[in-house]
Amino acid sequence: MPHPDAPESLPLPAKNTLRRELRRRRRALTAREQRAASTALCRRLKTLPELLRARRVSLYLPAGGEIDPLPLLPWLYRRGVSVYLPVLRPLSANSLWFVAYRPGTPMVKNRFGIREPAVAFGARRANRLPAWALDTLIVPLVGFDEHANRMGMGGGFYDRTLAFMRRRGPKPTLIGVAHACQQASELPVEPWDIPLTTIATDTAVVRPRKRQAAD
């Protein structure tokens, strides 16, 4: 079910207006609603076969009302999963690499005010992975629709970082996560958008429609 306030359709120029509206919705949730949503989301994630198979997973530290995936941490550590966080890649415009996140990882704020592992720590090869070397990415999103299309913060960070998915080679599982109120009725699909495997929210799991042979 689309959010009751979701617009009926989306002309392209309205994309940024919708992005602002969806960001406003998640920021408007109370601390109590945030906690309940995060608990419900993480409970659901723990039942996803994709995540049960995972050995190298990226999470994110929530900002601006994003749903919080961190209650997964103890569960992942217990299962011996290696956990990574996205870090703005130095010297490479708007793309990410993934740095180990474990007790003791030194953290700094990036230019958006989001905490991330310190550059010097991530600079050591043993502490980081390119996206293709992860098996599962938990991907933050600003908006999604019933076909599991995704809208992000608008920087193209994940789309650029995941562009390798169009080529032959490893294809990690991409699990988008969001609050249910971040659903819109129909998002425009851009040529550079990388489709997600699954989206999980506090109330549902959304998967893309299976592609027909003729698509």
Ligand X SMILES: Nc1ncnc2c1ncn2[C@@H]1O[C@H](COP(=O)(O)OP(=O)(O)OP(=O)(O)O)[C@@H](O)[C@H]1O
Q: Round to the nearest angstrom and report the end-to-end CA distance of the chain.
A: 25
| Residue count of the chain | 215
Distance set, CA 39 to CA 23, 68, 71 (Å): 20, 8, 7
Q: For residue 8, what are its two tokens?
A: 């009926």
**Interstrand relation of 107-109 and 115-117 (parallel, antiparallel or unpaired):** antiparallel
- 84 touching ligand X, by CB under 6 A: no
Which one of 7, 71, 155, 195 is in contact with ligand FFO (CB under 6 A)? Answer: 155
Binding mask 146-185 for ligand X (x = CB under 6 A): -----xxxxxxxxxx--x----------------------
- From 32-40, 110-118, 128-136, 145-153, span contacting ligand X (CB under 6 A): 145-153
CA angle 59, 200, 49 (to 5 degrees): 80
Residue nearest to ligand X (CB): 152
Binding mask 88-117 for ligand FFO (x = CB under 6 A): --------x---------------x-x---
Enumerate binding residues for ligand FFO (CB under 6 A): 60-63, 66, 86, 96, 112, 114, 140, 152-155, 157-158
